[in-house]
Structure 1
Amino acid sequence: MNMDIVAVSEGEVVFETRPTQAHYNPLGTIHGGLACTVLDTVLGCAAHSTLPAGTGYTSIDITVSYVRPIQPSAAPLRATGRVRKSGTRVIFAEAELTDSAGNLLATATSSLLVFAHRPQS
């Protein structure tokens, strides 16, 4: 997905992505799937930043709202994810995707299930 970490602090992360032609939809704009994937990533990473070592998480749900079409000229795209409420069972997070001028492109919310991480052997 061509993402880079820009900033990380407890409960908040920022990623940037530079879409390529591979991310275009048939209309010549950036496919909403890229926006959803980047938003899902920052939601999960923001939640992960609040958890102790050995604790895992998985998405329960994600809701994405697309505010405007994402034009190829909008790059780089910046996604910011924040924990709204942390917990030992469920974490609630929100995220936004903006273009290089700071215009809002999409928003997302997610609930994430917290569990003891058990690596596969």
Structure 2
Amino acid sequence: MKYAESLDDLLSPEELSKLSGLEFMEAMRDGRLPAPPISRTLNYRLHQIEKGRVVFRGRPGFDFTNPLGSVHGGWYGTLLDSSMACAVQTMVDRGATYTTLEYKINILRPVPIGVEVDSIGIADHVGRSTGVAHGEIRGVADDKLYATGSTTCIVMRLPG
């Protein structure tokens, strides 16, 4: 998997405006565009994509723990923000993009270090100015529910 190493590796707003959100996500999945550095840093990757649904797969390591030795809430939040917001992205037309306005997560149980999970984001509504999605973090091996989330995104027009 290729990761963006600098801002020069990312598409300009003009280049991005030529792709629908789904085309953009498919290009990342297929390796035509680099994955974001945050996914390397926090050990998760794009696993599945379809219009309105995105799955990231990840595995927390020791480096992601808090002082109590459990996985830090920021790891759950980053995975859910990524999957939910990218589900919104798959519904955005050419010439538009999105950004997260707010998100909320509920951690139901701790993910043990080294356990592989899927963060599943599903778009509920995407219009001209807002997108709403929900998500779950589930164990790959046992389908155990670890966390849930919801997000609201703003949809914006790109220059070009």
Counterpart CA distance in 2 for 1:17 and 1:53 is 29
Please state whether the residue corresponding to 1:92 is helix, strand or coil.
strand
Runs of 4+ in 1 over 4 A off after TM superposition: none
Unaligned runs of 5+ in 2: 1-41
Q: What is the alpha-carbon root mean square deviation over aligned residues?
A: 1.4
Whether 1:62 and 2:103 are equivalent positions in the alignment is yes
- Whether 2:54 is the aligned partner of 1:8: answer no
User: Which of 139, 145, 149 in structure 2 is aligned with 1:99?
Assistant: 139
Q: Secondary structure at the match of 1:72?
A: coil
Q: Which has the higher helix share?
A: 2
Partners of 2:69 and 2:46 in 1: how far apart?
Answer: 26
Q: Does 1:84 align with 2:124?
A: yes
Question: Which residue, out of 43, 48, 51, partners 2:92?
Answer: 51
**TM value normalised by structure 2:** 0.70
Offset, 1:35: 0.4
Could you list the per-position Cα deviations for residues 8-67 of structure 1 after superposition, in whole angstroms to 9, with x for gaps in the alignment?
Answer: 000000110111111011222111110000000001110000111221111111011111
Aligned residue identity for 2:99 = T
Would you say 1:19 and 2:68 are equivalent positions?
no
Of 101, 109, 114, the residue aligned with 2:150 is 109
For these two proteins, the number of residue pairs brought into alignment is: 118
Structure number with higher relative contact order (C-alpha < 8 Å, ≥ 6 residues apart) = 1
The SS at the match of 2:111 is coil
TM-score by length of 1: 0.91
- 1:15 and 1:110 map into 2 onto residues whose CA distance is 16
Larger Rg: 1 or 2?
Answer: 2
Percent identity (aligned): 27
**Which residues of structure 1 form unaligned runs of 5+?**
none
Task: Name the SS for the 2:56 alignment partner.
Answer: strand
